[in-house]
Structure 1
Amino acid sequence: MSKKEKNNNAIGLDKDKTKELAERLNILLANYQLFYQNARGFHWNIKGLKFFELHVKFEEVYTDSLLKIDEIAERIRTLGYIPLHSFSNYLKNSTIKEITDVSDGLEAVEEILNGFKVLLEKERVILDLSADANDEGTNSLMSDYISQQEKLVWMYSAYLAK
Structure 2
Amino acid sequence: MENLNAIGLDIKRSEELAHKLNVLLANYSIFYQNTRGYHWNIKGDKFFELHLKFEELYTDLQVKIDDIAERILTLGHAPQHQYSKYQESSAITESQEVTDGMKAVENILASMKSIITLQRELLDLSGEIGDEGTNALMSDYIREQEKLVWMYSAFLKK
TM-score (norm 1): 0.96
Q: Which runs of 4+ in 1 moved over 3 A?
A: none
Name structure 1 gaps, 5 residues minimum.
Answer: none
Q: Rg: which structure is higher?
A: 1
Instruction: Name the counterpart of 1:160.
Output: 156
1:83-132 alpha-carbon deviations (Å, 9 max, x no partner): 10111111111110001242111000000000000000000000000000
Q: Does 1:150 align with 2:149?
A: no
Instruction: Name the counterpart of 1:141.
Output: 137
Count of residues paired in the alignment: 158
Q: State how far apart, in whole Å, the 1-side matches of 2:91 and 2:30 are.
A: 9
Q: State how far apart, in whole Å, the 2-side matches of 1:23 and 1:10 are.
A: 17
Question: Percent of pairs identical after alignment?
Answer: 61
Q: Does 1:71 align with 2:101?
A: no
Q: State how far apart, in whole Å, the 2-side matches of 1:107 and 1:85 are.
A: 28
Comparing 136-145 and 99-108, the one that deviates more:
99-108
How far off its partner does 1:16 sit? 1.2
RMSD: 0.6
Q: Does 1:82 align with 2:78?
A: yes
User: Are the aligned partners of 2:72 and 2:79 in contact in 1 as well (CA < 8 Å)?
Assistant: yes
Name structure 2 gaps, 5 residues minimum.
Answer: none
Q: State how far apart, in whole Å, the 2-side matches of 1:35 and 1:124 are.
A: 18
Q: State how far apart, in whole Å, the 2-side matches of 1:103 and 1:88 are.
A: 25
Q: State how far apart, in whole Å, the 2-side matches of 1:140 and 1:114 are.
A: 24
